[in-house]
C-alpha cells in the first residue's frame, strides 16, 4: 500500500494468482499481436459527486458490473489513454512520458465533462499495474506492455447531463507490432468521411471519435489499404491525421512538416517527442496546414520524399501509397525513407534505454 499523492487515497491490493500457465504466457509473449491478450490484474478507482476519488484497488482482471442505465452506455461519456512500458536493454522497466498521458487524460476529461484525476494518481495507478504484472512484458524489437487507462460514466441516469459517478480503470496488454502486414510501408485511403469538426471532440481521446472512424477504416480495409487518412471538415482539403496516428511529411531539403494542432487533431505524444528530436538533429520542422492536392503534387515532383505516421501503438510507420477518389500516388520509392528510419531509431533508442534521456521522458519502474 502506498499513498496517492494529491488524492489522499491508498491503493488496496487484492492478490491474484494467475490462471495462465508459464508456458501459455511464454507463447503469448513470443507473439503478442496487438490488443488481444491481457494481463492478470486491473486497477479501478471510483469517483462520486461530493466524495471525489475513492476505493483505489489493484485486483484480478475481471468483468465490470454496470447498471443497464449507466450513462456511458447511452451517451458515450468515456475517455481513454494509450501508453507503453518497455523492457529496457539492461532488463529494467520504464514508462515513456506517462505524465504527458496524464495531462492529456485531464484535457479529455474537461472536454467530456468528467472529473479530472490528479496526474500523480494516474501515473501511480499505471506504475502499480506494471509492477504487479511485470511478468507479462514482452522482450525484443517492437515489443512492449501496452497500457490502457480509461474512465467511464457509471451513474444510472437517462437524462442528458454529466454523470455524478465514474470509474477509472487501467488494463494492460502485451503488444507487438500494430500493423499485421509487416510490410516496409503501409498504404492509406483518403476518406470522404470526416473525423472531427471545429468545436467538436477531435482533440480529446474519447471513444466516440473512434466509433465514428470505424466505417471509414472498414472502407479502407475493404479497398485493400491499411489505414484511413482524414481531411478537415470545413473544406475537405487539409490533411489532418489517421484514425489513430499523427502524420509527418519529409521534403527533399530535409524539412519536416506536421499538421498544426487546430483543435480537431489529437495532440500526439509521439508527434510532440519527434518534434523535439528532429529539432535537436538540426532539422527544420514546420507545424502548418498541408493540402491533399499539394501532397500529391509534391510526391509527383519529388519534392516530398517521405511520409510517416506516428503514435504509441504504431510507433513510426512509413506510408508508401495514398489512394483517394481522384486516384493513387506513391511516396518516394513506396517503401521506408531514410529520415523516417533515423527518427524512429532515435525515439526507440530512448524508449529502450539505449540512448541518453535528455528530456526526462523515461520513468523507471522498480
The reply to whether 268 sits near ligand PLP by the rule CB under 6 A is yes
Nearest residue to ligand COI, scored by beta-carbon proximity: 82
Give the ranges where 112-245 is alpha helix by DSSP (H): 119-132, 207-222
Say whether 338 sits in a helix, a strand or coil: helix
Cell of 305: 520524399
Residue 125 or 132: the one with the smaller Cβ distance to ligand PLP is 125
Told to check if 312 binds ligand COI by CB under 6 A, we report yes
Among 154, 187, 191, 270, binds ligand PLP (CB under 6 A): 270
Is the Cβ of residue 157 or residue 179 nearer to ligand COI in the bound state? 179
Minimum Å distance from CB 356 to ligand PLP?
21
- What's the Cα-to-Cα distance from 152 to each of 10, 69, 103, 121, rounded to whole Å? 21, 13, 17, 17
Touching ligand COI, residues 198-257 (CB under 6 A): 244
Interface mask toward ligand COI for 80-99; x: CB under 6 A: --x-----------------
- Which of 34, 157 has the CB closer to ligand PLP? 34
Q: Looking at residue 32, what DSSP letter applies? A: -
Instruction: For residue 227, give the C-alpha cell.
Output: 489505414
Give yes or no for residue 186 binding ligand PLP (CB under 6 A).
Answer: no
Q: How far apart are CA 243 and CA 5, in angstroms?
A: 35
- β-bridge partners, 288: none
Residue 140's contacts (CB-CB under 8 Å, 6 or more residues apart) are: none
Q: Which is nearer to ligand PLP, 30 or 218 (CB)?
A: 218
Query: Which of ligand PLP, ligand COI, none sits in contact with 241, Cβ below 5 to 8 A by type?
Result: ligand PLP
95 beta partners? 85, 363
Candidates 135, 154, 170; CA nearest to 29 is 135
Compute the distance between CA of residue 3 and CA of residue 24 in angstroms, rounded to an integer: 35
For ligand PLP, the binding residue among 171, 269, 278, 315 (CB under 6 A) is 269
Q: Check binding of 332 to ligand PLP (CB under 6 A).
A: no
Coil, helix or strand at residue 190: strand
**Positions that interact with ligand COI (CB under 6 A):** 82, 244, 311-313
**Positions that interact with ligand PLP (CB under 6 A):** 82, 241, 244-246, 266, 268-271, 311-312
Amino acid at each position: 500500500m502506498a499513498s496517492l499523492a494529491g488524492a489522499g487515497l491508498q491503493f488496496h491490493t487484492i492478490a491474484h494468482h494467475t490462471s495462465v500457465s508459464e508456458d501459455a504466457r511464454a507463447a503469448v509473449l513470443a507473439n503478442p499481436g496487438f490488443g488481444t491478450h491481457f494481463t492478470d490484474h486491473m486497477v479501478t478507482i471510483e469517483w462520486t459527486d461530493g466524495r471525489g476519488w475513492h476505493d483505489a484497488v489493484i485486483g484480478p482482471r475481471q468483468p465490470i458490473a454496470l447498471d443497464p442505465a449507466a450513462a456511458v452506455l447511452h451517451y458515450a461519456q468515456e475517455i481513454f489513454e494509450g501508453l507503453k512500458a518497455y523492457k529496457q536493454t539492461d532488463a529494467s522497466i520504464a514508462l515513456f512520458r506517462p505524465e504527458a498521458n496524464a495531462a492529456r487524460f485531464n484535457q479529455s476529461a474537461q472536454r467530456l465533462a468528467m472529473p479530472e484525476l490528479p496526474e500523480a494518481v494516474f501515473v501511480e495507478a499505471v506504475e502499480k499495474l506494471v509492477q504487479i504484472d511485470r511478468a507479462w512484458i514482452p522482450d525484443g524489437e517492437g515489443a512492449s506492455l501496452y497500457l490502457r487507462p480509461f474512465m467511464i460514466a457509471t451513474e444510472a441516469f437517462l437524462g442528458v447531463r454529466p454523470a455524478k459517478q465514474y470509474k477509472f480503470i487501467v488494463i494492460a496488454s502485451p503488444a507487438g507490432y500494430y500493423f499485421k502486414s509487416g510490410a516496409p510501408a503501409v498504404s492509406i485511403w483518403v476518406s470522404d468521411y470526416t473525423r472531427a469538426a471545429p468545436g467538436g471532440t477531435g482533440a480529446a481521446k474519447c471513444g466516440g471519435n473512434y466509433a465514428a472512424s470505424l466505417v471509414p477504416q472498414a472502407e479502407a480495409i475493404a479497398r485493400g489499404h491499411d489505414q484511413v487518412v482524414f481531411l478537415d471538415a470545413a473544406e475537405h482539403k487539409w490533411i489532418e491525421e489517421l484514425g489513430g496516428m499523427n502524420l509527418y511529411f519529409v521534403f527533399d531539403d530535409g524539412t519536416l512538416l506536421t499538421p498544426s494542432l487546430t483543435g480537431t487533431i489529437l495532440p500526439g505524444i509521439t508527434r510532440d517527442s519527434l518534434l523535439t528530436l528532429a529539432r535537436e538533429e538540426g532539422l527544420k520542422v514546420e507545424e502548418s496546414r498541408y493540402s491533399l492536392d499539394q501532397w500529391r503534387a509534391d510526391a509527383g515532383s519529388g519534392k516530398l520524399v517521405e511520409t510517416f505516421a506516428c503514435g504509441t501503438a504504431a510507433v513510426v510507420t512509413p506510408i508508401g501509397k495514398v489512394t483517394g477518389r481522384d486516384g493513387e500516388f506513391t511516396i518516394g520509392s513506396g517503401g521506408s525513407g531514410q529520415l523516417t528510419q533515423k527518427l524512429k531509431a532515435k525515439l526507440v533508442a530512448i524508449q529502450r534505454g539505449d540512448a541518453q534521456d535528455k528530456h526526462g521522458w523515461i520513468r523507471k519502474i522498480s
